[in-house]
């Protein structure tokens, strides 16, 4: 949700800011802007409505140079995505420039106060108020960092901000409250960003700013203090992600690249989270051990979007393989109710970014009520990682496509191994069964490779059906969460309407939607529910729906499906991952055939850091 970048050094900041914004565009792409301080000391501002390309073209035609600057790519909260609402925002006298990720909750009150004081506001945003508030303090003779610190105590809500002022042209001030900010350390230059991928070409040494901290970043130094004004020693972390991890590497879209990365990601996850000798899971868990968690009475799993589907899958894995009662909730709902939590209940938060506002709020509620919190997360140093008592990393590398793919299958693999390990510790599984489950996981990377090699059929179906505007996805038991995820993937990137449903519920409503030619994507597993699925497909077929059947046993679909996608044979417990990959490809090719912007679907953002 909005990307922030900043640079201070000896070389020109403009290309660095643009490159950073390009790498952060997945966080928002309504408008973009940068400000740099020129050699003569004048602030130069450029902002453009729409995607980053507009700003790039404008800067190509009319370049701006300077060795310090900040930039922003926006996902609109307050005010329409127009140029006047694009960041950076400035104070009235143009002495202060601010970029902001988050939301100012006392916006109305602050706006009224500033207007009453005679302030001329030029945008509808909450961010502009921050710039005015800081500038007023500068006018009163307060130094820049102190002015920012004072304002941080006045604004409520969530924010990551970067501030630049021509009065202090050697420094960037950044501050955070519940919105991520990272400082990157270079040689004779330093950077700030809302996310690590923006920094990968420049440095691997970073400082994750904590909540209620402010940093003064110059070319050669970083000084951190709390909002109370206490100095804090910076803690430097080393990023392990490969420099090219956030590049497209020849693929047309990040999403396609990330789909193809899945075999590698799963192999690496297995290497990290299993004992290769015994062929048993041995989760590399930071914090509390799996043993400690195995004694819980109940698990309450929560997340948003695709991560919520991971929670549904985790419930199936954990209930089936470890026999721990597991409940699932949307994080946004959980935070609004009074969940039955407490010391015997383990909170399981699943999140790719570790920064989703609702997931973090739900996590806090669980902890406040005495539950321990286990996070499954992809981004090291993220807020969830810091909040949780224990964390398992999904090690999927940076995921840039807004629609989650490799992070999702990474989450599935981790929660599967977690379930097997919990099952072992609780005596539900013996070592032989656990080892056979791990071996089934070990076959997955190659099975996915075969599926990817054989993706032509999926492309053909996608091309044939790409003009369809309504789709139904059906699955049962192990494949029900995957049906939901398949439908979500399609709707978020192709804008076709798609519903995921447990097949058994079809007769209770969705069957009314069936019309001749409506595509029904039916996931047929190898378990005992296959016969029931076949009956549901019959019902859809009898109403002239167009059936696309997925199964590793294509004969189950003989005479039933118009299109059959044969998947590699796998066990009932591991085949959901194969179905998930096939549906990612289907969504991708349909969206591409419809000419959609696959990596940056309209109105969406990768990381939803506001409520
Ligand atoms: C947004 C993204 C989804 C993602 C969800 C949760 O809606 O578009 O792809 O699944 O947020 O994000 P998280 O980072 O918590 O997994």
- For residues 241 and 444, the model is more confident at 444
* Ligand 1 contacts CB of residue 600 (under 6 A): no
Q: Which backbone phi and psi does 300 adopt, to 5 degrees?
A: -120, 110
As annotated, the residues of the chain forming the CATH 3.60.20.10 domain(s) are 3-246
Global pTM reads 0.86
Measure the CA–CA gap between 57 and 574, rounded to whole angstroms: 48
Measure the CA–CA gap between 271 and 89, rounded to whole angstroms: 47
Ligand 1: residue of 606, 610, 611 to mutate (most ligand atoms within 8 A of CB) is 606
Q: How confident is the model at residue 25 (pLDDT cuts 50, 70, 90)?
A: confident
pLDDT at 82: 86
pLDDT at 385: 93
Cα dihedral across residues 454, 456, 461, 465: positive or negative? positive
Mean pLDDT of the chain: 93
348 Cα: distance to centroid of ligand 1 (angstroms): 16
Domain covering 254-451 in this structure, CATH number? 3.40.50.10490
Measure the CA–CA gap between 412 and 206, rounded to whole angstroms: 29
* Ligand 1 contacts CB of residue 405 (under 6 A): no
pLDDT at 78: 72
* Ligand 1 contacts CB of residue 402 (under 6 A): yes
Residues 422-434: tens digit of each pLDDT: 999 999 999 999 9
Measure the CA–CA gap between 20 and 200, rounded to whole angstroms: 9
Domain 3-246 is in which class? alpha beta
116 Cα: distance to centroid of ligand 1 (angstroms): 40
403 Cα: distance to centroid of ligand 1 (angstroms): 8
Q: How far is CA 420 from the centre of its chain?
A: 26
pLDDT at 409: 98
Residues 256-299: tens digit of each pLDDT: 999 999 999 999 999 999 998 889 999 999 998 888 888 899 99
Active-site annotation holds for 2: yes
pLDDT at 240: 82
471 Cα: distance to centroid of ligand 1 (angstroms): 22
Three-class DSSP labels, 296-311? CCEEEEEECCHHHHHH
Ligand 1, atom nearest to 404 Cα: 9
Residue 223 near residue 214 (C-beta atoms within 8 A): no
* Ligand 1 contacts CB of residue 420 (under 6 A): no
pLDDT at 375: 98
- The residue-averaged pLDDT of 186-194 equals 96
* Ligand 1 contacts CB of residue 604 (under 6 A): yes
**Residue nearest atom 8 in ligand 1 by C-alpha distance:** 606
Q: Where are the alpha helices (DSSP H) in 349-405?
A: 357-368, 383-387
Tokens of 577: 């991952």
Residues 115-158: tens digit of each pLDDT: 999 999 999 899 999 999 999 999 999 999 999 999 999 999 98
CA dihedral 539, 543, 548, 551 (to 10 degrees): 10
Buried b (16+ CB within 10 A) or exposed e, 430-452: eeeebbebbebbbebbebbeebb
Active-site annotation holds for 406: no
Helices 575-593 and 480-494: crossing angle in degrees, nearest 10, is 20
Q: How confident is the model at residue 601 (pLDDT cuts 50, 70, 90)?
A: confident
For 210, the 3-state DSSP assignment is: coil
Q: Which backbone phi and psi does 89 adopt, to 5 degrees?
A: -105, 150
* Ligand 1 contacts CB of residue 383 (under 6 A): no
Q: Where are the alpha helices (DSSP H) in 153-203?
A: none
* Ligand 1 contacts CB of residue 209 (under 6 A): no
As annotated, the residues of the chain forming the CATH 3.40.50.10490 domain(s) are 254-451, 456-593
**Residue nearest atom 1 in ligand 1 by C-alpha distance:** 606
**Residue nearest atom 15 in ligand 1 by C-alpha distance:** 351
447 Cα: distance to centroid of ligand 1 (angstroms): 26
For 63, the 3-state DSSP assignment is: coil
* Ligand 1 contacts CB of residue 356 (under 6 A): yes
* Ligand 1 contacts CB of residue 352 (under 6 A): yes
Tell me the CATH architecture of domain 456-593. Answer: 3-Layer(aba) Sandwich (3.40)
pLDDT at 384: 93
514 Cα: distance to centroid of ligand 1 (angstroms): 30
**Residue nearest atom 2 in ligand 1 by C-alpha distance:** 606
**Residue nearest atom 5 in ligand 1 by C-alpha distance:** 305
Strand order in the sheet with 237-238: 43-49, 31-37, 68-74, 3-8, 190-193, 182-185, 205-208, 237-238
Q: How confident is the model at residue 469 (pLDDT cuts 50, 70, 90)?
A: very high
* Ligand 1 contacts CB of residue 608 (under 6 A): yes
Measure the CA–CA gap between 195 and 183, rounded to whole angstroms: 9
pLDDT at 23: 87
405 Cα: distance to centroid of ligand 1 (angstroms): 11
pLDDT at 462: 96
From the candidates 2, 304, 311, 441, give the one annotated as an active-site residue. 2
Residue 244 has pLDDT above 80, yes or no: no
The DSSP symbol for 196 reads G
Residues 203-229: tens digit of each pLDDT: 999 999 999 999 999 999 999 999 999
* Cβ-proximal residues to 363 (8 Å cutoff; 6+ apart), any chain: 302, 331, 347, 349, 373, 375, 384, 387, 388
* Ligand 1 contacts CB of residue 382 (under 6 A): no
- Residue identified by tokens 């447990």 is 502
From the candidates 257, 489, 491, 606, give the one annotated as an active-site residue. 606
Measure the CA–CA gap between 65 and 212, rounded to whole angstroms: 32
pLDDT at 176: 95
């Amino acid at each position: 949700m909005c990307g922030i970048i900043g640079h201070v050094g000896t070389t020109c900041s403009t290309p660095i800011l643009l490159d950073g914004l390009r790498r952060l565009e997945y966080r928002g792409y309504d408008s973009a802007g940068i400000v740099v301080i020129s050699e003569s000391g004048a602030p130069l501002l450029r902002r453009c409505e729409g995607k980053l390309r507009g700003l790039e073209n404008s800067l190509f035609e009319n370049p701006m140079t300077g060795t310090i600057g900040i930039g922003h790519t926006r996902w609109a909260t307050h005010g329409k995505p127009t140029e006047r609402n694009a960041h950076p925002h400035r104070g009235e006298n143009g002495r202060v420039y601010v970029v902001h990720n988050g939301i100012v909750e006392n916006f109305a009150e602050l706006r009224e106060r500033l207007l009453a004081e005679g302030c001329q506001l030029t945008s509808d945003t909450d961010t502009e108020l921050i710039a005015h508030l800081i500038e007023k303090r500068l006018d009163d003779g307060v130094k820049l960092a102190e002015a920012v610190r004072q304002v941080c105590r006045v604004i409520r809500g969530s924010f990551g901000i970067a501030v630049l002022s021509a009065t202090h042209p050697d420094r960037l001030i950044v501050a955070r409250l519940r919105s991520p900010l990272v400082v990157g350390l270079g040689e004779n230059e330093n950077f700030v960003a809302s996310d690590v991928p923006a920094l990968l070409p420049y440095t691997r040494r970073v400082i994750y700013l904590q909540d209620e901290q402010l940093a003064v970043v110059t070319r050669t130094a970083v000084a951190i203090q709390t909002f109370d004004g206490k100095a804090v020693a910076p803690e430097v972390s080393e990023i392990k992600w490969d420099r090219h991890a956030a590049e497209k590497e020849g693929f047309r879209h990040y999403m396609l690249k990330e789909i193809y990365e899945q075999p590698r990601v799963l192999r690496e996850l297995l290497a990290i989270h299993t004992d290769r000798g015994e062929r048993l899971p041995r989760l590399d868990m930071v914090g509390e051990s799996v043993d400690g968690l195995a004694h819980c009475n109940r698990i309450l799993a929560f997340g948003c979007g695709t991560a919520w589907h991971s929670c549904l899958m985790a419930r199936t894995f954990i209930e089936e393989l470890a026999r721990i009662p597991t409940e699932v909730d949307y994080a946004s709902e959980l935070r609004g109710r009074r969940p039955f939590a407490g010391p015997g209940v383990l909170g399981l938060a699943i999140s790719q970014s570790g920064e989703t506002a609702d997931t973090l709020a739900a996590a806090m509620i669980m902890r406040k009520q005495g539950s321990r919190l286990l996070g499954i997360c992809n981004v090291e140093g993220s807020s969830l990682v810091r909040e949780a008592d224990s964390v398992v990393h999904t090690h999927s590398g940076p995921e840039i496509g807004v629609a989650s793919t490799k992070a999702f299958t990474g989450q599935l693999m981790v929660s599967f191994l977690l379930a097997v390990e919990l099952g072992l510790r609780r005596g539900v599984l013996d070592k032989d069964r656990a080892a056979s489950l791990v071996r089934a996981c070990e076959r997955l990377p190659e099975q996915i490779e075969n599926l990817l090699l054989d993706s032509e059929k999926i492309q053909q179906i996608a091309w044939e059906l790409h003009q369809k505007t309504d789709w139904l996805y059906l699955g049962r038991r192990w494949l029900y969460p995957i049906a939901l995820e398949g439908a979500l993937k399609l709707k978020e990137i192709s804008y076709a309407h798609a519903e995921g449903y447990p097949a058994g519920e079809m007769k209770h409503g969705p069957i009314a939607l069936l019309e001749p030619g409506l595509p029904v994507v039916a996931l047929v597993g190898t378990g005992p529910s296959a016969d029931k699925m076949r009956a549901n497909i019959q019902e859809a077929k009898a109403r002239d729906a167009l059936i696309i059947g997925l199964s590793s046993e294509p004969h189950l679909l003989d005479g039933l499906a118009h299109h059959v996608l044969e998947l590699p044979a796998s066990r009932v417990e591991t085949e959901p991952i194969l179905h998930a990959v096939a549906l990612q490809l289907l969504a991708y090719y349909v969206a591409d055939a419809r000419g959609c912007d696959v990596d940056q679907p309209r109105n969406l953002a990768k990381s939803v850091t506001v409520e």
